[in-house]
Structure 1
């Protein structure tokens, strides 16, 4: 074998340069080390829209209290630049909410297109639509003595009617619709928190709402349970002035055999329903539990249903819509 045919002499491997950007500490390859680094948090976006006077400002304030960055009366075309800025601007806006409504005039027409654009970009966004009945909206505007943004020279109801027509398609696209007709500011805050607060990615958010049939069935109920088959504590003199949140009434109602059987079977029956909702990307559900006046039976039953659903890992808010109306 000639010298030219001899294999080259083995050489010692060159130690990695610790200053090299392609070398991780302790000699771990950069790509392998990167796999152990925490992934950057995705930007979360909430679009708050809906009828004027339905509570958009209150909902935005609730998100601010939760630490979100909130922008009021934002032209929809500014949503995409804000998301892009969040991705490339050091993460200053990881959670922001934008109130988008008809005050933007012609800019509001771009909302449907912008929402489609966010969806195509796989942005983690949710649209929250605040609504209320025409009667309630009229009363609220009369109380504050302000004109509706679309009223012009016409009547207040004309502006409300025009706005409802403009928002019909947006309402259908909303991820969560909150009817504020019968909610006070505290109830609305609980509804917003239930829809927004952090939890498991696939957790279902459940609002258990007690009500009185004599005041009407809640408009936003996904399921309605009637507990008027139970004996009414109203006819027990020492319980009449109390509510279902008071221990004597709670013990009376939950001590009924029929109540225990109903609650157990009702919660069990909801298991495949909730699983189906999650499979269909529906993450918010309202269970309405009604009795005659919404004071005794429905309140006690709702609290117990909420307790059992929490034990199953669901995020639950229990609200008594008609408590105190009597």
Structure 2
């Protein structure tokens, strides 16, 4: 959560193609003054001028994007400058690192037909790997690492706005997501629960084409003798954890519920959890990745 008493500076960096431009646009929509491609060698001087009142900022937060394309980019020197900026008492500073797996980055570059900045005459994967070694020190010092491999724009918006909103809030926003384990865990998850032990409606031919949103599927799952005690315990645990996360300063929490196909059990349990939290006056958003 953003510190309201100091000028908040958020550096956004990471792998080329991992979503830097998208994140800066999201932050701009949140009210940040955004800067991109500012030569790294000029950053320390710029923030010293802000500290001395020689540069005026209209917002209470600045987001600065930089990656391997940025002029005079040098990870080690940048980290040294970060330490100097952190020592300025008027500022509160954090760094976000955007990560992404090689296959997804390769697909993104192929789809957009853009050239990776370090690919040059070598192949794309070589360029991606060279960049990864260069920027690795930034990943190690980041306050938040976001793997965007399986994230859509809405997922990214929820995560960024939840962690870096400028609005005063007295509650915690909760994202509930259902998913299928064979397709991988949602990377943005804070809590993950496996409901594959529950009775599977897939094996009832009359329910196979339906989803956990259909009442017949819900009734079927609730006939499982383990369901009620499981759901009561899960609901109670989440209810007890939420105030603790809020006290820690967390503004957004993603709870993911998984099963085999992501159609029946995970969808039903996710809907039930969301309904129980909505009645408790929490801001809740629900999504079903496989539907």
The TM-score range, normalised by the shorter chain, is 0.7 to 0.9
Report which stretch shifted further, 87-96 or 209-218: 87-96
**CA distance in 2: counterparts of 1:115 and 1:300, whole angstroms:** 46
* Equivalent residues in 2 for 1:1-326, closer than 5 Å: 41-76=5-40, 77-78=42-43, 81-82=46-47, 85=50, 88=53, 92-109=58-75, 110-122=77-89, 123-198=91-166, 207-219=175-187, 221-237=189-205, 239-245=207-213, 249=217, 253=221, 258-269=226-237, 286-306=254-274, 308=276, 317-321=285-289, 323-324=290-291
Secondary structure (helix, strand or coil) at the match of 1:125 reads: strand
The 3 A distance-change label for structure 1 pair 300 and 251 is: same
Cα RMSD for the two superposed structures: 3.5
Using the TM superposition, give the Cα deviation of residue 307 of structure 1 relative to its aligned residue in structure 2, in angstroms. 5.0
TM-score norm. by structure 1 comes to 0.71
Unaligned runs of at least 5 residues, structure 2 = none
**CA distance in 1: counterparts of 2:201 and 2:11, whole angstroms:** 44
Q: Which has the higher contact order (CA 8 A, sep 6+)?
A: 2
The 3 A distance-change label for structure 1 pair 241 and 75 is: farther
Tell me the number of residue pairs that the alignment of Structure 1 and Structure 2 aligns: 284
Unaligned runs of at least 5 residues, structure 1 = 1-39
Secondary structure (helix, strand or coil) at the match of 2:13 reads: strand
**CA distance in 1: counterparts of 2:219 and 2:50, whole angstroms:** 55
